[in-house]
Structure 1
C-alpha cells in the first residue's frame, strides 16, 4: 500500500483550520477528506483511514460515545492515530480536559495553535508512518492465519488430531479430530483427566512413564496404547509429541498429534490369527502324518519347509501390499506438503526466520519422501531403469566411497572374478544396495576385522520361487563380524526389523535390497553364523546385451523451471490438496491452468474446449483412472500431449499408453522439466 492510497479525515468546522490543514497535507503528499459534522467524521472512520485531524474545541462539547465505541472496537492490529489541534496554552500539560481525550481516543498527538507548517507536516507524517506499520502488522497477521489454515487442512487430510499440554497447569487443548481419537464429540469437555481416564488401565503406567521421560530428558514422545471410549468400546491410539522450552530452558508444554490406528491394529491381529490358524493346521497335519507312518518323515520335513516358505511368502506379500499402499498415500500427502512449502518459500524470500522454518519443514518432508521410496522398494513398486550393467566397473567406481564408509579400522578386500558378464539391472539401485550391504557389514564389525566385496558367476543348485534356472551375476559382501543366529536370520529382511540400537537404523536396508532383487527377477541370499560373520549375496540375472555406462552422460542441462511460452493446461486430480498445490505450481511457472477433480469432469471440459496444450492427470482416481481418461482424451484430441503423475513405479499392465510419467512427490523444477520433455517430443517447444 503506498502513501497516496491513504486518506486523512479533517474535522475543523470553524475558522480556517480545515483549509490550512488540507493545504498542508496536500503539500506533504497526503490525500485528505474534510468533514463538516461529528456524525460525518464518525461515519467516515474505517480501516483505510490513515489518521484523523480534529480541533480540541469541537470534541469538548460533542457526544463522543459513537467515536469512543469505534476506537474500542478496532481490530487487534489497528490503533488509529488522532492529531488534536489545541489553542496556545491549552496543551495537555496545562489542560486536563485535553489530556482526557487521550483516554478516549487512545493514539493522540497534540499540536498547539497557531502551529508552524513544518511542525504539522512532521506530526502528520509520523502518524502516517505509524499507520503504515499497522497495515504491515495486519498483513503479517493474515499470513499467519493463512498458514494456520493450511496446517489444519494438512492435519485434517492426514486424519491427525493436534493437541497441547501446558505443564505448569496441566491444561490440555486439543482439536476436534484429537477428541474423536478418544471417542469424544467436538462439543464435549475433554481435559487431561479425561484423557488419562480414556487410557486402558494396563497401558496407563507405560503412558505416564513416557510423559515423564519426555519432560525430564527431552526425548520425543512416541507411543501406541489402547483406549476405552465413553461407549465402552476398545480402540487404539498413536501419539507423537515434542517438548517445548521457554527462553530460560524451562519445559513449558508438550505439543503433538494423535491418530486412531484401530483399523491397523485390527489388521495386524487378524494376520496374527491367520498365522496361528495356519500353524495349527500345519501342526495337525504333521501329527497325522507322523501317526500314520514315521519310511515318510523326510516327506513331512519337506512339506513343513515348503509350508513355512509359503507362509513367509504370503506374509511378506501381504505386508508388501499394505506397505506399498501406505507409501503411495503418503507420497500424495507429501506432494501437497512439499508443493505448498516450495511456493511459500518464494513468497517468504527475505524473511530469515520464515525461510528457516520452511527449510526445516521441507527437509522433514524430503526425509519422508526418502522413507516412502524405501517402502516402495520393499513393496517392489519403485521405478527402475533396467539396463545392462557392467558390474565390475560399478564396484571399481565405488571403491573410494566404500573405503570412506568402512573407516580405517576395518580391512576392505575385493574378490572380483574375471570375465564377469553384464547384469540386467538398475545401476543406481544396485550401487545403493552395495553401499547398504557394506555399511551393515561395518556395523556388524565394531571391533575391527575385514570386509570382502566380490563378484562371481552363479547358477542356482535348484529352482526356487525367486531364482529360476539360468545364469546370474552374484554380488557378495562378507564380513568377519558378530553374525546372526537362525531366528534373527529369518527376520532379517522383514521391514522395520533391525538389530541396531534405537535411532541407528530404520530396519529397511535389507528389506529394500530384497524388494529390489525380486523386482529384478533375482534374489537376496543371506548366510550367517553367530561369531563367524555374515555373507550377503545379491543375485542379478545375466544380460545378453552390451552394458551401458553406470552413469549415463547428461545430454542437456536441467530446466530452471522457466518456459518459452505459457501453456494452457488441464490439471486433473481427485485429491483437492494435491490439485491445489499442483495448480499453484503450474500457475507460478506462468501457465494458464484449468482444474478438474475427476475424469468425467475433465472429459466434459475437453469436449467443450479442445484448445488445451497439455493434459496433466493423476493415475489413481475413482470412477475413471488416469489411463482411461488418457485414452478417451486422445479420442477427442489425437495429438494432445499427456503427463500422468503417480506414486507407483509402473502403470498397470495392459494400459497401452504412449504417455510420459511423473513420479510423486515431485518438485516444481521436476514438474517444469517433465512438461518441457513432453512438449519437446510432441511440438518441439522446450523449456528455456
Structure 2
C-alpha cells in the first residue's frame, strides 16, 4: 500500500494532456470490479464500472484512458463490435486493455486468454489473485502509454493546423505548390498550380501534361534546367511560356529545390509556381512605350537637324536635352512600375509574414515545423528586402537625412562585411580621422556599402583584397553631376576581372547584371545610383578589365555635426499603462491581411473590432463601442485611409490613428498629422508603434 500511495502522488502532479480521461472496468462477476475501482481511486485515477458488454462498447471513446476487463467476461461473448471499434481508432490511438485472468490461467498456459491479444491489440495480463502493487504498476504503465498517445494527438493537430496556415499563406501569395518524384515521374500539384497552367481543379495533371502545356520554344530550356538541378543540386528557377487549351499564351515562374534522402540520393523536386503573365505584359508594354518614345525623339532630332543644319552648338545642346528628357521619362515610367509592384508585394508579404509569425508561436517543440517556418520567414524577409530596393530605385522610399559620421559607420560594419565576403577575401580600410559629417540616411548608406562589398567579392572568385577608403574632396564648379561644394567620398576597390567600357555604361541600369541567372537582381548598383541622386551626390565607377573596379559614392558634407546615436532598444510587446489592453478598430479591405493583423493584436492582449471598408469603419465609430485607437490601411477602394481619417475625426476629434501602407511614403499634401506603419510589419513593430501613438495621445 505504501507504493500505491507514492504512485498516487506522482499521478496527481503529472502533466496529463487530457485531464478528463477516465478508466472503464468491466467485471460482472464477484468483487473484481469493486476491488479494481477502489485501488484506482486510491491511486488518484478516475474510473467507472459498466454492467455489460454493450455498455462497455457505448462508453468507449477518446477520453477513455484504459479498460480493465476479466477474461471470463469476454470468453464466450461476441467480440465483433469491440473489434470493429478497435480497428476504427484514430491513427494516434491504441487503447490499452488490462485483462484479469484466473489462477494458473495466464496467457502462457491459457490459449483462450492469449487469443484476446489478437482482438484487443494493446493488452496487459494480470493473473489473479494479484498483489495491489502489481495491479497499480500495470495500470500506471497503461496510463503512461495513453498519455503519450494524447501528446501525439496534440502534435498531430498542431501539424495539421500548421499545414492549413501554410496553405493559406501560399494562397495569399497566389503561389501553386507542386512535387515531382524523380523515381516514378509522378507530378503532384495543388489547385492553384493547375490553374496557372489553365487546368481545372478536378482535372488530372501529369508531368506529360505539364510538358505538353509548355511553349515548344521553351521546352528544351525547361528540361535542361531540371537536369541541371538534379545533377548539381542547385536551386531550380525558370520563367517560361505556357499554352492553355484555348490557345492563349501565358507566363509562369517556377522555383524549386532538390530533396534528398538520408543517404544523399536525390528523391524529388519540391517547389512553387506563380502566374507572371500580367508582369510580363507590363514589361512588354513598357518596352513598346520606350520604343515609341525613342522613335519620337529620333524623328524630332532629325527634324531639328534638317531645319537648323547651319548654329551646330545649339543643335548639340538640344540633342543632349532631349536625350536627358527621354532617359528621365524612361526612368520615371520604370519607377512607377516598380513602385506599384513593391506596394502590392508588400501587402502579400504582410499576409505571409503575419500568418507565419503567429504560426511559429503554436508549433511547440516540433523542430521540423520550426525549421520550415523559419525558412519561409527568411524567404519572406528577403522579399521584403527586395521591395526596399525597388522603392529606393523608384525614389519612393523615405530617407531620414541627418548628419552621419562615415568613419564610425564603416568601422561598425567591418565584422558584418567580413562575414559577408568570406574568408578568401581580405578587407583593408583607410579611414582618416577628422572628416566632416555628411548629409545622408545611415541605413541606406550601410546597405549601399554592403552591396558594393558583395559586388567586389563576386568579381574575385579566386580571392583577393577589397579596399574601403574615405577621403574629402570638392567640386570646384557646378558640373553635369555635382553641385559645387565639399564632399566625402566613400570608395570600394577590388582586384577582380573588371568591366569593359560597354558593360560599364550599362552597370547602373535597373535589372542589368553580369552575374549568372538567379544570382543577382540587377538592382544593386541602380539602387545605389538612386540613393546618390536623392542625396544630391553621385555614384562614379572606374574599371579596367583584368585589373579591377573602383566604385565611389560622393556624398555632400553636412552643415551640422553628427550626433552619436544611442543603441536601438528592441520594442517591448508587454502591455502596461497607456499601451493596453485597448479596444482597437482595425480597417483593411484585404481579408487575409486583416486576419493576420487581428491575430497579432489579439495575441498582444487587445480587444479588436474589425472593419473591411471606410464606410463600415465609420458605422462602427458612430454606433459601436468606444475605441481607443484606429489602425487603417491607406490604399482601399472607395474611401482611402486619408479620407477615412478626416471623416473619423469629425466623429471623434481626439481619436489616435495609425495608418499602414505598402508604399514607403504617403502621397504628398496629405496633412493628417498621423503616425505611419510600413507594410510588411512584425508583431513587435506593431506593438512599438501602438505604444508610441497611445503614449503621444496621453501626453
TM-score tier after normalising by the smaller chain length: 0.7 to 0.9
Please tell me whether the aligned partners of residues 327 and 372 of structure 1 are also in contact (alpha carbons under 8 angstroms).
yes
Quick check: 1:649 aligned with 2:664? Answer: yes
Which of 189, 196, 217 is residue 181 of structure 1 equivalent to?
A: 196
Quick check: 1:619 aligned with 2:634? Answer: yes
Aligned-partner Cα distance in 2 for 1:402–1:18? 76
Aligned-partner Cα distance in 2 for 1:651–1:460? 36
Which of 429, 433, 456 is residue 473 of structure 2 equivalent to?
A: 456
Structure 1 residues 339-348 or 449-458, which shifts more?
Answer: 449-458
Quick check: 1:29 aligned with 2:31? Answer: no
Aligned-partner Cα distance in 1 for 2:466–2:597? 52
Shift of 1:212: 0.9
Partner of 2:600: 585
Partner of 2:444: 429
Cα 1:76–1:285 shift into 2, 3 Å: same
Query: For residues 538-577 of structure 1, what are the structure 2 equivalents within 5 Å?
Result: 538=553, 546-549=560-563, 551-553=564-566, 557-565=569-577, 566-577=581-592
Aligned-partner Cα distance in 2 for 1:372–1:663? 12
Quick check: 1:340 aligned with 2:355? Answer: yes
Which of 109, 119, 126 is residue 111 of structure 1 equivalent to?
A: 126
Count of residues paired in the alignment: 672
Shift of 1:329: 2.6
Shift of 1:523: 4.8
Aligned-partner Cα distance in 2 for 1:548–1:110? 81
Please tell me whether the aligned partners of residues 542 and 550 of structure 2 are also in contact (alpha carbons under 8 angstroms).
yes
Cα 1:410–1:143 shift into 2, 3 Å: closer
Aligned-partner Cα distance in 2 for 1:293–1:176? 64
Partner of 1:384: 399
Structure 1 residues 398-407 or 497-506, which shifts more?
Answer: 398-407
Which of 53, 57, 64 is residue 72 of structure 2 equivalent to?
A: 57
Partner of 1:477: 491
Quick check: 1:86 aligned with 2:101? Answer: yes
Shift of 1:210: 0.9
Partner of 1:494: 509
Aligned-partner Cα distance in 2 for 1:250–1:587? 45
Please tell me whether the aligned partners of residues 172 and 351 of structure 2 are also in contact (alpha carbons under 8 angstroms).
no
Cα 1:496–1:24 shift into 2, 3 Å: same
Quick check: 1:12 aligned with 2:24? Answer: no
Query: For residues 295-314 of structure 1, what are the structure 2 equivalents within 5 Å?
Result: 295=310, 301-314=316-329
Please tell me whether the aligned partners of residues 537 and 553 of structure 2 are also in contact (alpha carbons under 8 angstroms).
yes
Please tell me whether the aligned partners of residues 526 and 534 of structure 1 are also in contact (alpha carbons under 8 angstroms).
no
Shift of 1:154: 0.8
Aligned-partner Cα distance in 2 for 1:330–1:675? 24
In structure 2, the gaps of 5 or more residues are 1-15
Q: Deviations over 1:530-556 (max 9, x none)?
A: 45876756565676x63442x4336x9
Which of 236, 244, 252 is residue 237 of structure 1 equivalent to?
A: 252
SS of 1:651's equivalent?
Answer: coil
Please tell me whether the aligned partners of residues 226 and 237 of structure 1 are also in contact (alpha carbons under 8 angstroms).
yes
Please tell me whether the aligned partners of residues 166 and 356 of structure 2 are also in contact (alpha carbons under 8 angstroms).
no
Aligned-partner Cα distance in 2 for 1:171–1:504? 30
Cα 1:648–1:518 shift into 2, 3 Å: farther
Aligned-partner Cα distance in 2 for 1:410–1:159? 43
Shift of 1:152: 0.7
Q: Deviations over 1:562-593 (max 9, x none)?
A: 12142222222222333222222222222222
Partner of 1:72: 87
Aligned-partner Cα distance in 1 for 2:426–2:53? 88
Please tell me whether the aligned partners of residues 4 and 30 of structure 1 are also in contact (alpha carbons under 8 angstroms).
no
Query: For residues 292-441 of structure 1, what are the structure 2 equivalents within 5 Å?
Result: 294-295=309-310, 301-348=316-363, 350-387=365-402, 389=403, 393-395=405-407, 398=410, 401=413, 424-434=439-449, 436-437=451-452, 440=455
Aligned-partner Cα distance in 1 for 2:381–2:525? 21
Which of 666, 674, 677 is residue 659 of structure 1 equivalent to?
A: 674
Partner of 1:133: 148
Cα 1:317–1:487 shift into 2, 3 Å: farther
Partner of 1:601: 616
Partner of 2:540: 526
Query: For residues 89-100 of structure 1, what are the structure 2 equivalents within 5 Å?
Result: 89-100=104-115
Partner of 2:11: none
Please tell me whether the aligned partners of residues 380 and 518 of structure 1 are also in contact (alpha carbons under 8 angstroms).
no
Please tell me whether the aligned partners of residues 453 and 478 of structure 1 are also in contact (alpha carbons under 8 angstroms).
no
Cα 1:146–1:372 shift into 2, 3 Å: same
Aligned-partner Cα distance in 2 for 1:105–1:396? 74
SS of 1:203's equivalent?
Answer: helix
Q: Deviations over 1:338-391 (max 9, x none)?
A: 33343444444555444444444433333332222222211212222123x26x
Structure 1 residues 55-64 or 70-79, which shifts more?
Answer: 55-64
SS of 2:217's equivalent?
Answer: coil
Aligned-partner Cα distance in 2 for 1:238–1:441? 30
In structure 1, the gaps of 5 or more residues are none
Shift of 1:633: 2.2
SS of 1:91's equivalent?
Answer: coil
Cα 1:172–1:9 shift into 2, 3 Å: same
Aligned-partner Cα distance in 2 for 1:3–1:157? 35
Q: Deviations over 1:118-167 (max 9, x none)?
A: 22222222112211111111111111111111111111111110000111
Cα 1:288–1:569 shift into 2, 3 Å: closer
Cα 1:307–1:323 shift into 2, 3 Å: same
RMSD of the alignment, in Å? 3.3
Shift of 1:82: 1.8
Aligned-partner Cα distance in 1 for 2:512–2:74? 78
Cα 1:415–1:504 shift into 2, 3 Å: farther
Q: Deviations over 1:414-472 (max 9, x none)?
A: 79998x6x6543233235435545665676688769775433343764678xx7x7757
Structure 1 residues 241-250 or 488-497, which shifts more?
Answer: 488-497
Aligned-partner Cα distance in 1 for 2:285–2:671? 38
